[in-house]
Structure 1
C-alpha cells in the first residue's frame, strides 16, 4: 500500500473517531439527564407514598363519624389509593433501587435494574431456560447416582450441583423481583429452604444412616425433577396464552407448585404435585424414625427431617390454599348466575 493511500485511510479513520467522540459526548449528557430523571421520579414516588399513607389514616378516622354518602366517597378514594400502589410498583420496576439484604450480601450494592422491557424479558427468558436445562441435568444425575454409578463421590457431586442450582435460583429470582416480577411468599422461600436442605445433604458423612436414606432421596429427586419438567412445559404454554390475552405480566414465571392462573388448563398436575408433597412428608417421617436408631450419631438426620417437614407444610398448604380459593370463586360465580 502506498503512503498516499495510508494517509487517506488515516483521514477516514480520524473522521470516524471525531464522530465517535461527539456521539459519546451526547451519550454522556443523556446519561446524566437520565440519572436526574430517575432521582426525581424516585423522590416523587416516595413523597406520594408518604402522603397517601397519611391520607389513608385520616380517611379511616373520618369514616367513623361520617354519613352513608360520605362513607361511600371514602371507599371510592380508598380503592383508588390501592390502585395507585400498583401503579407505583410498575413505575419502580424501571427505577434503580437499593438491593435487599440477600442481594447486598451476594453482589454488594450493585444496581441490578434493567431499564427496557426487552432486557427484562430477555433476562426472564434466560432464567426459564436455565431452570429447564438444570432440571434435565439434575434428573439425569439422580438416575446415574441411583442406578449406574453407586459411589459416594458421585453423590457428593450431585449434592453440590443441587446446592449451586438453588443458590443460583435465589439470586436470579431476587434480581427478577427487583425488576418487577411479582413472585413472592412461599414460592421464594421454597428455594432458600431447598438450598439449606441440599447443603445439609452435602455435609452428611457416609455411614449406615446415610446409606439407609440414600436410595429414597435419589428416587425422590428423580420424581421431583420429572414433576418440575412437567410444570415448566405446561406452565410456559399457559403463561404464553395469558400474556397474549393481556391477563398476565411479561415477567411472570413458571414456578414450583400451583397458582390460581394455572387452573384453566393445568389441573391435571395436581395429583403429581400432591404425590410429591406427600413424598416429602414420607422423607421426614423416615428420617425422624432413623434419628431414634441406636447407631444414629449424625445431626444431619434430625435437621433433614425438620427441613423436609417444613417443605411439605409450605408446599401442601400453599397448594391447598390456591385450590380452596378457586373453589370459593367458582361457587360465588355459580351463586351470582343463579340469582
Structure 2
C-alpha cells in the first residue's frame, strides 16, 4: 500500500503515541505485580500475627485463671478488666480474617480444590452476596413454574426426572455458594446450611426412584409440597412474624410426607428402597427445621424482652 506524505506522517504520529502508551502499560503492569507481591507478604504477615495472638491469648487466659485462684481480692478487678478486653478479640480477628486468604474447608476442597475463593474488598463481597440472592430468587421462581407444570399439566416420568435433576443441581449449587460466602465472613451457620445438603440428598433419591405404583401414589403429594415450598420461598422477604404460620405449615408438610412414605412401606407392593429413605430424610428435615425455627423465635422474643427491660 502506498501512503501520501500526509497520511504517512499521521501513521508515524499514531505509532509514536502507541509506543508511549505501550511503555506506560508495561510500567503499570510491573507496579501491579510488585504491589501484588507486597499484598501477599502483608497477608501472610497478618495471618501469622493473628495466629500468634490467639495462641498467646489462650496461654494468658490460663495464667489469669491461676492468678484469680491464688491472688488476693485487689487483683480480681484487674484480672476481670483484662478478661473483658480479651472477649472482644475473637470477633475482631474474625472481621480481619474475612479479608485474608484462608484454606478452603473440606467441602470446597473436594469440589474446587485449593482455589482461593476469598474476596478482598467489601464491594466484591456485597456483589457476590447480591448475586447469590438473585440466583436463589430466579431458580425458586423457575422451580415453582416447573412444579406447577408437573403437578397440573404434564404427567410424564421423564419430566419429573428433569424436575428432580434441577432440584439436585440447585441445592448442590447453593451449598457451594454458601461455602464461598462462609469463607468470606458470612455468618450462615448450623442447620440452615446443613438442610441444603439434606435437600440435595433427598432430590437425588427422588431422581432415582423408578416408575411404579408407589411412585405414582406419592407423586402428587410431593409435587404439591414442592409447589408450596417454592411458592413460600419466592416471597420470604416479609417479616418473621408474618411468615411463621406458613413456615410451620411447610414444616408439618414435611412431617406429613415422612408419615405417608412410612405407611407406604407397610403395603405389600413396597419394594423400592427410595420409599424408606425419603421418609427418613423428610423426617430429618422436619425435625431440623421445626426445632431450629422454635429456637430462633424463642431467641427473638428473649432479645425483645431484654430490650424492653433496658
Superposed displacement of residue 293, structure 1 = 1.3
Deviation at 1:68, TM superposition (A): 4.8
Question: Deviation at 1:268?
Answer: 1.1
Gaps of 5+ in 1: 235-264
Deviation at 1:66, TM superposition (A): 4.1
C-alpha distance 75-216 of structure 1, shift in aligned 2 (>3 A):
farther
Q: In the alignment, is residue 305 of structure 1 matched against residue 310 of structure 2? A: no
| Rg comparison, structure with higher value | 2
Alignment of 1:1-339 (within 5 A): 2-231=7-236, 233-234=237-238, 265-332=239-306, 336=309
User: Shift in Å at residue 291 of structure 1?
Assistant: 1.3
Change (3 A) 1:124 1:70: same
- Shift in Å, 1:72: 3.9
Displacement of 1:131 in angstroms is 0.4
Tell me how far apart the structure 2 counterparts of residues 320 and 35 of structure 1 sit (CA, whole Å).
45
Q: Distance in 1 between matches of 2:166 and 2:265?
A: 26
Q: Post-superposition shift, 1:20?
A: 0.4
TM-score (normalised: structure 2): 0.94
Change (3 A) 1:319 1:71: farther
The DSSP-based 3-state class of the residue aligned with 1:94 is coil
Q: How far is 1:74 from its partner?
A: 3.0
- Structure 2 unmatched ranges of 5 or more: none
Q: Distance in 2 between matches of 1:333 and 1:169?
A: 35
Q: Distance in 2 between matches of 1:163 and 1:138?
A: 11
Shift in CA distance, 52/293, structure 1 to aligned 2, threshold 3 Å = same
- How much does 1:58 deviate? 2.3
Alpha carbons of 1:69 and 1:294: their partners in 2 closer, same or farther (altered >3 Å)?
farther
Cα displacement string for residues 279-314 of structure 1 (whole angstroms, at most 9, x for unaligned residues): 001111111111121111111111111111111011
| Cα distance in 1 between the residues matched to 2:73 and 2:220 | 66
3-state secondary structure, aligned to 1:169: helix
**d(CA) in 2 for partners of 1:90, 1:175:** 16
Equivalent position of 1:262 in the other structure: none
Deviations 1:217-239 (A, max 9, x none): 100001101111121x32xxxxx
Specify whether residues 73 and 315 from structure 1 end up closer, same or farther in structure 2 by C-alpha distance, changes over 3 A only: farther
Q: TM-score, normalised by structure 1?
A: 0.86
Deviations for 1:78-115, whole angstroms, at most 9, x for unmatched residues?
A: 23222110000000000000000000011100000111
